[in-house]
Amino acid sequence: MKRTLTLLAAALCVSPTFAATDWDADLGVWVTTIDAATYGGSSGTIKFNDWGYTGPTGVGAGDFQVGAGFNAGNIGQIQHVVTQNPDYATSDPGHTVLGDLMNAPTYANANMDGGVNFFQWAYTTPYGGTFSNMQIDKAGNYHIAKTDMSFKGYDSFEYRDTTGTNLTQTRDSYINFKPYTISDAKGWCGSVLTQDPNGLAQMAGQVTFDFAFDVYFDFGTESFSSTQLVPGFVMRSYGDYELNVTTSGGGLQHYYGSAVGNNTNPESVVQGVGGTLDPDYQNRVSFLGAGVLPLGVWVSADSFNADGSKKMRTDFNPTTGESRQVWDVTIVAEGAAGAVWHLNAYAGYAYMLRADGMRILDYVNPTGHSDYVATVPEPETYGMMLAGLGVVGAMTARRRRQMA
């Protein structure tokens, strides 16, 4: 835990400039440099191979809007994604995982399908996380309201040995966490480049948003620990990540992660390719992202009540009917009027979130979904097609990895 007086003193005087992601022409990848001052003593790099994929008008990994940005008056399509249980068909290499808190036992060659790396620990995302009302305008801009993104809680790890040597088992973790979004998501989506947004074609995109996660300790009875704030998280449905970061105490955090291309068979994936299109996996999607918790962030003055208590809101998960109180916080730049510094207790801890699920197209604009190509099939056929999608997909499509 990073609750030392040294870090507290640093938090009071340091205003971090969060690491920029730059193109490295020699390596042919995007590189984010993690510096010790900003990230609580941790240092290293996060490398992202974009497969050479670009979206509408050539936007890529460094872009989060097309043209002037999202146009709510020019919606082309609306979709939602529901996370699925892992089928352990990931192409990611086996990873050594430690038991959280006491770092025991050790899980060798762990399959990270549907998994989240956090520090040297790991978690498996449960079924049923939802990204609802994902609006895409005809230019390819995404908009997803923060209240339409509902993550499930992380409280266990499903261990599968990639070599088949050790027995399958479930570990009930001692440190649990519950993520929630604290800003709307924006980005771009490549489905506007295809004639049929529900077809079997290469599609990918990315979104960025701020998120938080509440940490809990579970020793039979769960108790709240702290809230961590993560600015500018990027979640992509294409590409390969390699995260190589060392904490100030020498803890190595080294993760690999490959997206499974939309509509592709995960067993055909190799790093740098993305997979082979397969009708058995139509409307299966894959997202992933990686980062390091910064030392802290500035939050707005109106994130707090007049008495200094945190301002809370209630989030609702439309799939489970679950409600929960979350901190209604806005991350701001240093110098904003009344800005307050929030210290992350787990500063310097790295993470990789893998997110896979079922994509369901809810609406296609009758005048066309795209500024670039004509829409096929004819819009009137979508009602019958979408009505059968959930039933047919549930019966025939094999489950892949799960959203994290």
Nearest CA among 319, 361, 104, 100 for reference residue 215: 100
Query: b vs e for 354-373, b when ≥16 Cβ sit within 10 Å of the residue's Cβ?
Result: bbbbbbbbebbbeebbbbee
Render pLDDT for 15-70 as a digit per residue (tens, 0 to 9).
Answer: 345 667 899 999 999 999 999 999 999 999 999 999 999 999 999 999 999 999 99
CB 164 within 8 A of CB 142: no
Confidence of residue 184 (pLDDT cuts 50, 70, 90): very high
pLDDT of amino acid 274: 75
Confidence of residue 194 (pLDDT cuts 50, 70, 90): very high
Say if residue 108 is exposed, middle or buried (CB neighbours under 10 Å; 0-12, 13-18, 19+): middle
Render pLDDT for 277-291 as a digit per residue (tens, 0 to 9).
Answer: 999 999 999 889 999
The C-alpha atoms of residue 44 and residue 356 are separated, in whole angstroms, by 27
Confidence of residue 261 (pLDDT cuts 50, 70, 90): confident
Domain limits, the chain: 74-396
Show Cβ contacts of residue 342 under 8 Å, excluding neighbours closer than 6 positions: 227, 229, 296, 297, 298, 299, 329
Q: Which amino acid is at 167?
A: L
Q: What is the pTM (predicted TM-score) of this model?
A: 0.88
pLDDT of amino acid 157: 95
CB 248 within 8 A of CB 361: no
